[in-house]
Amino acid sequence: MADTTKTIEIEVLRYRPEQDKEPFFQTYTVPFEDDWSVLQGLQYIKDDLDGTLSFRWSCRMAICGSCGMMIDGKPRLACRTFLRHYHPNKLRVGPLEHFPIERDLVVVVEDFIRKLESIKPYIIPKEPRKLEQGEYLQTPAQLEQFRQFSGCINCMLCYAACPQYGLDSKFTGPGVLALMHRYNADSRDGGRGERMALGHSEEGFWGCTAVTYCSEVCPKDVDPANAINQNKMGSAIDYFLRFVAPRGAGK
């Protein structure tokens, strides 16, 4: 590490609640090699320059969803963004937009977790089967209906890309609604009715105004904008149908 000749300036948005009134940028000069990710740059800062810097990370390979942050204004995973793309310019790193800042690059995620739990992100079997009845079978076509939407790693980049969530956090938001659709679209699942009371509401699919930036920034190509908006047609039909044939709420 000491042999590296190239250096890059990283401006990090700092916020230490016990001493700072508001966030401020602190600049660090970091020596790096071409294969260094932004996350490695931050780890260098924490290990060698300033141990007080806080950020979340875990897997270093774009699957745990912990290291989402704003990198030069874009929501990105720090582990799959490389310092060489910004060199010789400096780069700015900040916590994910639209979430309250807990400390430095760490954001408050309680709201997201609560929403995630609220949509029952698990299969609620349509017909409970006993072990001896064997597995639930599914055709490739049935799999394709939800496979893309099951790639979500809960990294929350889509929330940092969603101005509707930033303006009003009552909106359930892209990632969680995409997961709602993922389970509703699963042929083995029978929980649609339990989830759709929220789905049909203003806080659900209708809170989306199709900015579609969520789908641009998703590191797993989940396409939350598609998951959400393809539900609006059904939701509208359902709304008018209830006048013709009243059913249970949210079915």
Partner 1 sequence: MSAQMDKRRPYVRSMNSWWKRDPFFVRYMVMEATSVLVALYAVILLVGLLRLSQGEAAFNGWLGALESGPSILLHVLILVVFLYHLWSWFKVMPKTLPMIFVNGKKLPADTITYTGVLLAVVVNLIVLIILV
List Cα–Cα distances, 248 to 71, 101, 196, in angstroms.
46, 41, 11
Site size for partner 1, by CB under 8 A?
34
Is residue 95 within 8 Å of residue 156, measured between CB atoms? no
Rounded CA-CA distance 219/99 in Å is 19
Is residue 125 a contact point for partner 1 (CB under 8 A)? no
Q: Which of 33, 117, 144, 202 binds partner 1 (CB under 8 A)?
A: 144
- Restricted to residues 25-54, the positions that interact with partner 1 (CB under 8 A) are none
Q: Considering the rule CB under 8 A, would residue 221 count as an interface residue with partner 1?
A: no
CB nearer to partner 1: give 42 or 161. 161
The yes or no reply on residue 101 touching partner 1 (CB under 8 A) is yes
* CB-nearer residue toward partner 1: 148 or 201: 148
Give the Cα separation of 226 and 155 in Å (integer). 18
Output the smallest distance, CB 53 to partner 1, in A: 16
- The DSSP 8-state label assigned to residue 125 in this structure reads B
- With H, G, I as helix, E, B as strand and everything else as coil, classify residue 74: strand
For residue 147, how far is the Cα from the chain centroid?
17
Among 31, 121, 151, 166, binds partner 1 (CB under 8 A): 166
Contact residues: partner 1, CB under 8 A:
15, 17-18, 22-23, 73-74, 97, 100-102, 108, 140-141, 144-145, 148, 163, 166-167, 209-213, 215-216, 223, 225-226, 229-230, 232-233
